């Protein structure tokens, strides 16, 4: 009868024999679950990373992407969508992967530079050519008769950035009078004829369906719309104040551990911070965080007064609870 030691020895020999076979395994797939407007960014980035990874390791990596409203995408991961990496619109949606699914560690945001946000963006206005309704700032979109297109903050990360940017403007305009700020936000929401679930859907509503006078949009999405459809159709209006949007990224630890894809998933996200990754982000109208690349593309991005979620709202956890949780200010104002 074989002893346990003999069995273990046999297993070790089998593993040693199998190791060269495993080492020659060359096809890897990753799933990047992202938010709505990053389609073009990750299409370019995935191709560049695959090339880089092939050159570095000899492995073929195929990256699949899934796009949708950021909150919705986060919930899909918690519900079992096997994302190797999550690249969502805001930190709260990634926090939920820890809070509700224990899929990542609590301190996930400390694992990569810039609080795990390799690129930033902000919120601007996209208006029709000639700006026929003369929209210049947040006051203008609260005017009666202005039709405003923005997605639903319950499902869209972009919409939450829009909402908070408008709120920050209102607080300043009305000297932190919350009642007046609520009225101001109420006037804007009253001008919204349709709530899409994600930022890309809102762009479709405004650009392709011809609805509304102004689209509250990610800066990158506004530039992209202008590029795709021509500057003769749309103009970008930069408000006097907006918000610094920091879309974060993370490896989904439980998934990569299960699938054995941690090394390539880590490398994928780290590659976003390299010069090439930052160049791709900048070319897709995301603001790069790498100094050298940011300087190179600074002309492309208008300078404006930006608040942050941390300084203005006490971080995403607090902002979410105050404004977007069930019964928060959005519900109170929109459902009134």
Query: Using CB under 8 A as the criterion, which residues of the chain lie in contact with another protein when the complex forms?
Result: 147, 193-194, 196-197, 201, 205, 209-212
| Tokens coding 207 | 């650009």
Looking at 122-259, which runs of residues are DSSP E strands?
123-128, 148-149, 214-218, 234-237, 241-243, 249-251
In the complex with another protein, the residue whose CB is nearer, 75 or 287, is 75
Closest separation in Å from C-beta 211 to another protein: 5
Report in angstroms how near the CB of residue 264 gets to another protein at its nearest: 25
Measure the CA–CA gap between 74 and 81, rounded to whole angstroms: 9
Instruction: Compute CA distances 296 → 93, 245, 278, 279, whole Å.
Output: 31, 20, 11, 9
For another protein, the closer CB: 153 or 239: 153
Question: Nearest distance from residue 209's CB to another protein, in Å?
Answer: 5
Q: Compute the distance between CA of residue 37 and CA of residue 272 in angstroms, rounded to an integer.
A: 17
Instruction: Give min distance, CB of 193 to another protein, in A.
Output: 4
Question: Least distance (Å) from another protein to the CB of residue 204?
Answer: 8
Burial class from Cβ neighbours inside 10 Å (0-12, 13-18, 19+) for residue 204 reads: middle
Q: Pairing mode, if any, of strands 287-288 and 305-307?
A: unpaired
Cα 3 to Cα 7, 10, 13, 45, 241: the distances in Å are 6, 11, 16, 53, 74
Least separation in angstroms between CB 280 and another protein: 30
Q: In the complex with another protein, which residue's Cβ is closer, 153 or 212?
A: 212
Phi-psi domain of 260 (left: phi exceeds 0; alpha: psi -120 through 50; beta: other): left
Terminal-to-terminal C-alpha distance of the chain: 78
Neighbours of 63 (CB within 10 A): 22
Q: Which is nearer to another protein, 81 or 304 (CB)?
A: 81
Nearer of residues 187 and 200 to another protein, judged by Cβ: 200
Longest dimension (CA), the chain: 89
Query: Kindly report the CA angle at 258 between 257 and 263, in degrees rounded to 5?
Result: 40
Residue 50 or 155: which CB sits closer to another protein? 155
Nearer to another protein, 178 or 208 (CB): 208
The pair phi, psi for residue 6, each rounded to 5°, is -65, -40
Shortest separation between residue 257's beta carbon and another protein, angstroms: 18
Cβ closest to another protein, residue 68 vs residue 157: 68
Place of tokens 């950035």: 161
CB of 212 to another protein, least distance (A): 8
């Amino acid at each position: 009868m074989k002893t346990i030691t003999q069995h273990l020895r046999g297993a070790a020999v089998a593993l040693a024999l199998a190791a060269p076979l495993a080492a020659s395994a060359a096809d890897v797939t990753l799933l990047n679950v992202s938010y709505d407007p990053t389609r073009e960014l990750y299409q370019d980035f995935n191709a560049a990373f695959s090339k880089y990874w092939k050159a570095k390791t000899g492995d073929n990596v195929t990256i699949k992407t899934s796009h949708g409203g950021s909150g919705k995408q986060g919930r899909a991961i918690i519900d079992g969508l096997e994302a190797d990496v999550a690249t969502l619109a805001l930190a709260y949606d990634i926090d939920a992967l820890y809070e509700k699914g224990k899929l990542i560690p609590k301190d996930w945001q400390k694992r990569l530079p810039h609080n795990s946000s390799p690129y930033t963006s902000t919120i601007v206005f996209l208006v029709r050519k000639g700006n026929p309704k003369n929209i210049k700032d947040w006051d203008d979109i609260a005017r009666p008769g202005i039709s405003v297109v923005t997605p639903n903050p319950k499902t869209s990360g972009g919409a939450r950035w829009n909402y908070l940017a408008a709120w920050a403007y209102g607080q300043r305009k009305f000297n932190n009078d919350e009642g007046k700020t609520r009225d101001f936000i109420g006037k804007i929401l009253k001008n919204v004829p349709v709530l899409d679930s994600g930022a890309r859907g809102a762009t479709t509503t405004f650009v392709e369906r011809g609805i509304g006078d102004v689209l509250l949009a990610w800066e990158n999405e506004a530039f992209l719309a202008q590029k795709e459809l021509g500057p003769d159709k749309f103009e970008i209006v930069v408000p006097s104040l907006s918000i610094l949007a920091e879309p974060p990224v993370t490896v989904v630890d439980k998934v990569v551990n299960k699938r054995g894809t941690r090394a390539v998933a880590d490398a994928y996200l780290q590659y976003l911070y390299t010069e090439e990754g930052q160049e791709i982000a900048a070319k897709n109208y995301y603001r790069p965080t790498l100094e050298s690349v940011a300087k190179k593309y600074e002309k492309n991005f208008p300078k404006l007064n930006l608040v942050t979620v941390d300084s203005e709202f006490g971080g995403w956890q607090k902002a979410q609870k105050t404004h977007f949780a069930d019964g928060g200010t959005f519900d109170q104002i929109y459902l009134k």
